[in-house]
Amino acid sequence: MSNLTHWKKNFNPNYIGAYAFDPGEEKTVTVKSAGVEEIIGEGGKKERKTVLHFEGGVKPLILNKTNARMIERVLGSPYMEQWIGKAIVLGVEKARFGSERVDAVRVKDKKPTGNAPFLCEDCGQTIAGVKKLTPEQVAAATRNAFGCVLCSACGTKRKERANAATDTDSR
């Protein structure tokens, strides 16, 4: 089924929608950031909306009150800053939109089984533990150092590039 293209993929390519799921599919995602952003809706209308960004290149989700309440319930906190680094499960359910019932992305009322794998934002590979560090610790360390989640190899490459740039600047 995943080799078929839903027509809606061509109309809102910047955000995740129900069209991004195969029937019955759920996605476990890890929150990278949450905040208010200006988005451009249909007809070029600009609006300020709360948007969740996820680790591993998963498209962001425009957060509505239904999903925000569910995240609070699942993660046990109403504070968006405390959602960062935590995993949630997304799926598709029917929702009322005006007089119609449409497919909508919904945060599921369940804890993920295990943690969502952390994916390197440079190479896309699953992040593995290194020496005594767990994958979660590697992800947190690279997020703190570089502002994004990286595997050990890509983190090392970025550090080498930064050191090379510093060496060139100091000459």
User: Across residues 9-33, what is the average pLDDT?
Assistant: 82
pLDDT of residue 111: 82
Q: Using the predicted structure, report yes or no on whether residue 58 has a pLDDT greater than 50.
A: yes
| pLDDT attached to residue 117 | 67
Interval 9-35 mean pLDDT: 83
Find the mean pLDDT for residues 8-15.
Answer: 65
Q: What pLDDT is recorded for position 124?
A: 78
Q: Is residue 87 classed as helix, strand or coil in its secondary structure?
A: strand
In this prediction, residues 47-62 reach a mean pLDDT of: 91
Q: 18 pairs with which residues across the strands? A: none
Task: Indicate the residue type of 32.
Answer: K
Domain ranges of the chain: 7-107, 117-171
pLDDT at 57: 77
From the CB of residue 5, how many other CB atoms can be counted at a distance below 10 Å?
Answer: 9
Check residue 71 and give its pLDDT: 96
Please tell me the pTM assigned to this model. Answer: 0.64
Mean pLDDT (the chain) is 85
Report the distance separating Cα 35 and Cα 39, nearest Å.
12
